[in-house]
Structure 1
Amino acid sequence: MLAIALVDRTGSGLWASVSVLYFTYVSGLSVAEVGTLAAVSGAIGIAGAPLGGRIADRLPITRVLIALQLVRALASFALLTTHDYALLLAYSAVGSLGDRAANVLTKLYATRVAGPDRVRYQAVNRTVANAGWALGGLAAAAALALGTTTAYRWLLAGDALSFGAAALLTLRCGEPPSPSRIAATSKDAAPTTRPANPWRDRTYLAYVATETVLSLDDAVFKIGLSLWIAHTNHAPHGLVALLLVLNSVMVVAFQVPLARFGATTAAARTLLIPLAGAFALGGITMALSAGGGAFTTTLFLTASAIAFTLAEMLRATVSWELSVALAPGTSQGAYLGVHGLAQSVQRSLGPLAVTAAIATGPIGWTAFGATIAATCVIQHRLVRERLQRPPLSVLPVTVSEY
């Protein structure tokens, strides 16, 4: 599965770097059309997380993953066949739906295959995925230097081929035991017992709501830093790329070592307190970067990037553990599918949140960090009672890949 993550994210890195340029220069879309296409396809993709999780509770997860990878490949190839706006929108939506579903199933696979070591497994997987993303971005940068439509098309084709390769690699993965399917086929299982429904679980839904806020660190690096630096007269614009590289290097270097601090459910919950501090520090240093000369501004922006990257790694560690620990074992797929909504919704709300922070200046960034920090404390209290119950979420099994 780690090889799959590397191939998948390398392809995604190719397309992420060229998507806007492709739709603009190859398909001939206007700025408004490109923005609408991204917004609509992203909104439709939100349904992929709960849908994929629900299906994975009923069917072998590797087969579902293979199907999703093939759907993503076909959607990407389909973009090469037309410049019709309606068709581009439809194909992009299908690809987004498959992408969100595949992300949830990848996490579910890690939960089932790694058992109690799921946090470390996820950390290694995320490190490999970040490395793949960086490789894809570097390859795209080299191709974009050509500035031709042919180069754009080859990058999109490379993205599609990466999904096909991921599907082939998934064929070699062992199928992990599914608690829901084991319970359904067990002779001792009560015939009237129904799997828990996450949509009726108020505690879990409240937890997912807090997760949406905690995921806003993603918007800081995708939009916030770039816009903030673009609207300041002191920081060099080239600093944006350097801070993004710093973020990737830190994740690759420290995500796995940090994962050991959240290896148990209790430890993961405890990490919410330092996580709150990291978010608050990130907001404060962003606010402080508004004053002073070029050196001071660069210094505070670098400190903010470090703080938000630390928050990103801690938040991922906490999320990997708590999202599973709070879910009944017989409904892991359905619950993790609902949990996947947090990241999907954040992709829509995140740009609005960081834009509001930028519009209100230093006070806005301070409030941004403080709000997320307060949400960490709320989540810390929210999950306390639920976690005191006997764990139902994971079977202590490990399945090898071959």
Structure 2
Amino acid sequence: MSADTARVATTLARTHLVNAIGDGAFYVTFALYFTHVVGLSATRFGLGMSLAWGAGFLASMPLGHLADRIGPRRAAVALAAGTAVAVAVLPVARGFPAFLVVICAYGVCQSGLIAARQALLTRLVEPAERTRVRARLQSRINGGLALGSVVGAIALALDTRPAYVTVLALDAVAFGIAALLLSRLPSGTAPAPVAGGERALTVLRDRPYAVLTLLNAVMLLYMPLLSLVIPLWIVAATEAPTWMAAVVLALNTVSVMLLQMRVARRVTDVSSAARTVRTAGLVMLGACAVFAVTGSTPSPGLTCAVLVVAGLLQVLAEMLQAAGSWELSFGLAPAGRHGLYQGMYNSGIPLARILGPAALTGLILGYGATGWLILGVLIAAAGLATVPVTRWAAQHRPVGIPAE
């Protein structure tokens, strides 16, 4: 890694760490603040969050396209600052209409920021180093989330409005600091010329990449597992104590912090990336099968042990999927269009946040072990399909747009 790349990677790592500390505290306390302190019903809060991530999903490609036109650094700085403002305004958004407006602005800025930061990484880091640098960032994200969750836990223990508002202020300041750090990065090389009539939706004409985006969205269905489905499953269907949900989450966080960079080393190009995603799908099928067994194990101690095994398989699948998908999203995007293509590829994140909670709770809590197996087979099928679709994408790039 060159000295310039090392400096860029260090600045990006600091940016992601600061963001993640604020977000960790935010995620732990946000729902309770608006339902218990502000007084929104759980139904209205859930509706607002679904609409916010829906707005983020719709904005991902246009904001990625904007990043290509004005430069990803400028876009990332603006979107980080916009997120800071949205979070800072949340304490005064006490009614549902005001909450809905502000939280939708938050969802849009967050979704656009993901695309802009990914595009900035591709602009500033040479292709051979991108996945390894992204893995380093992911390890910092998990470390920051762990630190932030401790702050959030303190606010929950105090359970007062000033404590919750302090957490929101911390998250707003974190995004402000992130905007400042991003502004200090170089802008990188100039982007490829963008045709005057080109629109954001032209990326949809790249059918192989669109199919990969869809497959990635299916793989991302693991996202609601740790925060929602596994805790509910442990309480409703197993003999394990409730605190095992925290153990599984801690196991996941520490594993990503320590091992994500090592896992990413196996990914060197789009072919190895596709094979890694395929492996991730099969490992996730194994994890789901083991989770399914926890509903019928005869003792709390044995159930806890099986949950640990399932959690280890799940985090391995997560790390494999992440490393492979980063390389695919980087390596198959045309030069100068990384903002647009990252916006499309990462639209699976808000989509998983919209559809995942309701779909997975209904599937797994409603059908038990069968539901776990259906989820595992679905994710494994998406992983298996990634290999031939990647070959299709590599052979059929958009006409007139060079691939990197």
After TM superposition, the score normalised by the length of structure 2 is 0.91
Does 2:124 correspond to 1:118? no
Shift of 1:388: 4.4
Residues paired across the two proteins, number: 386
**Alignment gaps of 5+ in structure 2:** 1-11
Q: What are the superposed Cα offsets for residues 356-391 of structure 1, whole Å, 9 maximum, x if unpaired?
A: 122111111112111110111111111113224689
Which residue is 1:129 aligned to? 141
Question: 1:37-52 counterparts in 2 under 5 A?
Answer: 37-52=48-63
Does 2:368 correspond to 1:368? no
SS of the aligned residue for 1:262 comes to: coil
CA contact (8 A) 2:93 2:102 kept: no
Which residue is 1:261 aligned to? 266
CA contact (8 A) 2:274 2:387 kept: yes
Aligned equivalents of 1:146, 1:224: Cα separation in 2: 27
Shift of 1:17: 1.0
Which residue is 1:66 aligned to? 77
Shift of 1:161: 1.0
Which of 347, 364, 371 pairs up with 1:357? 364
What is the one-letter code of the residue matched to 2:54?
Answer: A
Deviates more, 1:26-35 or 1:220-229: 26-35
Deviates more, 1:244-253 or 1:74-83: 74-83
CA contact (8 A) 2:87 2:172 kept: yes
Aligned equivalents of 2:322, 2:46: Cα separation in 1: 28
CA contact (8 A) 1:24 1:34 kept: yes
CA contact (8 A) 1:48 1:99 kept: no
> Residue 84 and residue 300 in structure 1: after superposition, are their counterparts in 2 closer, same or farther (change >3 A)?
same
Which residue is 1:248 aligned to? 253
Aligned equivalents of 1:232, 1:87: Cα separation in 2: 38
Question: 1:1-400 counterparts in 2 under 5 A?
Answer: 1-116=12-127, 117-180=129-192, 183=193, 197-292=202-297, 293-355=299-361, 356-388=363-395, 392-394=402-404
Q: What are the superposed Cα offsets for residues 288-336 of structure 1, whole Å, 9 maximum, x if unpaired?
A: 1111221222222111111111111111111101112222113222111
CA contact (8 A) 1:6 1:131 kept: yes
What is the one-letter code of the residue matched to 1:40?
Answer: L
**Alignment gaps of 5+ in structure 1:** 185-190, 395-402
Aligned equivalents of 2:38, 2:174: Cα separation in 1: 22
Aligned equivalents of 2:191, 2:326: Cα separation in 1: 18
Aligned equivalents of 1:175, 1:252: Cα separation in 2: 29
Deviates more, 1:261-270 or 1:53-62: 261-270
SS of the aligned residue for 1:236 comes to: coil
> Residue 331 and residue 40 in structure 1: after superposition, are their counterparts in 2 closer, same or farther (change >3 A)?
same
Aligned equivalents of 1:393, 1:72: Cα separation in 2: 32
Aligned equivalents of 2:274, 2:360: Cα separation in 1: 26
> Residue 149 and residue 372 in structure 1: after superposition, are their counterparts in 2 closer, same or farther (change >3 A)?
same
CA contact (8 A) 2:73 2:117 kept: no
Over the residues paired in the alignment, what is the CA RMSD in angstroms? 1.9
CA contact (8 A) 1:217 1:311 kept: no
Which residue is 2:4 aligned to? none
SS of the aligned residue for 1:237 comes to: coil
Aligned equivalents of 1:377, 1:233: Cα separation in 2: 31
Q: What are the superposed Cα offsets for residues 136-190 of structure 1, whole Å, 9 maximum, x if unpaired?
A: 111111232211111011111111111111111122111122442xx35xxxxxx
Shift of 1:61: 1.5
What is the one-letter code of the residue matched to 1:63?
Answer: R
Identity of aligned residues (%): 29
Shift of 1:392: 4.0
Aligned equivalents of 2:188, 2:241: Cα separation in 1: 50
What is the one-letter code of the residue matched to 1:371?
Answer: L
Counting helix residues as a fraction of each chain, which structure ranks higher? Answer: 2
What is the one-letter code of the residue matched to 2:226?
Answer: F
CA contact (8 A) 2:238 2:303 kept: no
SS of the aligned residue for 2:50 comes to: helix
